[in-house]
Amino acid sequence: MSDLLNKLRGPELVAEFQGICGLSLISEDKSVPRHFPEADRQAQPVSTPRSHAAWRGEHVTTETNGTVSGTPVPRKKYKIENYFLYYLFMFAATLGQEVFYITFLPFCYWNIDPYVARRVINIWAIVMYIGQASKDVLKWPRPPSPPVVKLEVRVDAEYGMPSTHAMAATAIPFSFLLATMNRYEYPCELGLLLAVTICALVSLSRIYTGMHTVLDVLCGVAITALLVAVSYPFWDAIEAFQMRNCFAPLLTLSLSFLLSIYYPELDHWSTARGDTTNIVSAGAGAAVATWINHQWDLVPEPFSAPPYEIPPLSTGLICRMGARFTIGIVIVFFARQAIKSAALALVCRLAGVSPGDQEARKLLRVEVPYKYITYSCLGVVGLAVCPAVHRYLSL
């Protein structure tokens, strides 16, 4: 068993899969300094700073944040022999990124069913927080290059176990399936096939891009499957609390903010804490919007009992869906720009740093509050303001 786990965790299996898919290293380029621990399976985690030191800003120096200074990570050239698989997996990898979340989840709410979208968003936020936090608790490095080809740079400083792409690709389609299979009349086998296909494509894309080992991906899928199965009986109770309890908005915002502030301590700065704050705060904002919509009856539920027939696609329906999506995305985009600028300026002013200082934005007392304000407000804008605009425009 130990040998099997070591093999699944090793980079050789990743490189072998890449080779089968027509992706391989061909030569080395010069080394450049990168600020994260060496990508080696035997690397030991370095000393962890205390959270109050990070809050004061002491983590910006190498000596206090535990970062391995100036570790040279060689840039590698690679060749692509199968461009179909290359573009397929690169596209699949985007299904676990912000651009997908900020478009697909609102699309579901505006154009498919708020009932379904609320459940998907709740599970997505919970699963992603557990996955992201687990990375910084376990501190398992990503596969090294060589022998692996690495096609992504932004998240390379994050740890690898478990794969949060695989977790999102399991949570979203399968929670969507569970929320719709007894609510709408459609072949559940077809929905299951689609969910499995999405999960498999995104999971394999993380191995293809060299960002995760096979064990990272398998654990991500398994953990999410367990979380979805355990939480499923409580979905209705969670939503009822979010809708009807007068303290629900305060409790949701308070808990999610504390989870962001007390995110596991980082031994070097990475995008993990900020990305997790984005997700958790968006989920909190969506929960607040759920309460607002129910209290003022802004998003009425169907009068008849399920199951419902899926309406046939007509030109008029497609145009209305396109109009709702376009108007909603435009509102979300401009709201994001305005709220982010205002929140960053306010938080930086309170923290006594310059908004233009990129290093200052990495401080715990700056990064978490401004991202939390931005995305919790966006959750309210996307799920409460946009539907109100759609209704005003008779869409």
Positions marked active-site: 165, 212
What is the C-alpha separation between 298 and 288, in angstroms, rounded? 13
| Dist. CA 73–CA 32, nearest whole Å | 6
Tell me the chain's radius of gyration from C-alpha atoms: 22
Q: Are strands 308-309 and 184-185 parallel, antiparallel or unpaired?
A: parallel
Q: Which residues contact 189 (CB under 8 A, 6 or more apart)?
A: none
Give, in degrees to the nearest 5, the angle at Cα 138 between 129 and 4. Answer: 115
Q: To which residue do tokens 């399968």 refer? A: 174
What are the contacts of 12-17 at 24+ separation with CB within 8 A?
12/147, 13/213, 13/214, 14/143, 14/147, 14/148, 14/207, 14/210, 14/212, 14/213, 14/214, 15/146, 15/147, 15/148, 15/149, 17/204, 17/207, 17/208, 17/214
Of the candidates 384, 372, 156, 178, the residue with the CA atom closest to the CA atom of residue 276: 372
Q: How far apart are CA 58 and CA 319, in angstroms?
A: 53
- The residue behind tokens 């060496």 is 38
| Tokens (6 digits) for 351 | 């923290």
Longest dimension (CA), the chain: 66
Q: What are 149's two structure tokens?
A: 């080809």
Contacts of 74 (CB under 8 A, 6+ apart): 28, 29, 30, 31, 145
